[in-house]
């Protein structure tokens, strides 16, 4: 099985996850909160990390299956856009207020990620 394209995106998403995890850990240390907490910025950073690790594994599995099935070029397209969507979502959650159109980063990141995951899921089926 040749999945080197998916491996690239898994590595990049892994670095993004590590960055968001560190971002959360440093905020925890700055507000001296080992678990939970009521600091808004801590909650935002924690959710940005959590949301990434909720979505990325399924997308990577579908990308790996598609690459194995001969969709090599599509994997880079999906990976590039998915990575960008996850960055936009994290930025929107952490640095912008609100939801929907008032928070363009979060909205584009979420809708884009779901759309790409839906496309990958459809391609896995057909």
Determine what percent of the chain is predicted with pLDDT higher than 90.
Answer: 83
72-118 confidence digits (pLDDT tens): 999 999 999 999 999 999 999 999 988 888 999 999 999 999 999 99
Is the model's pTM score more than 0.95? no
Given the candidates 3.30.230.10, 3.40.1080.10, 1.20.120.550, 3.30.390.50, the CATH classification of the domain at 4-125 is: 1.20.120.550
Average pLDDT, the chain: 93
**Following CA atoms 81, 14, 62, 111 in sequence, which dihedral angle do they give, to the nearest 10 degrees?**
-40
Query: How far is 38 from 42, CA to CA, in rounded Å?
Result: 8
pLDDT at 1: 66
The band of 36, judged by pLDDT with boundaries at 50, 70 and 90, is low
For residue 32, give the DSSP letter: T
């Amino acid at each position: 099985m040749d999945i080197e394209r998916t491996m690239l995106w898994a590595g990049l998403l892994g670095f993004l996850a590590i960055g968001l995890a560190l971002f959360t850990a440093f905020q925890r240390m700055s507000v001296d909160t080992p678990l939970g907490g009521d600091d808004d910025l801590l909650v935002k950073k924690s959710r940005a990390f959590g949301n990434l690790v909720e979505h990325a594994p399924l997308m990577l599995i579908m990308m790996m299956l598609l690459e194995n099935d001969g969709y090599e070029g599509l994997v880079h397209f999906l990976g590039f856009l998915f990575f960008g969507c996850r960055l936009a979502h994290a930025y929107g959650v952490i640095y912008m207020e609100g939801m929907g159109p008032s928070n363009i980063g979060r909205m584009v990141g979420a809708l884009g990620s779901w759309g790409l995951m839906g496309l990958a899921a459809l391609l896995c089926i057909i």
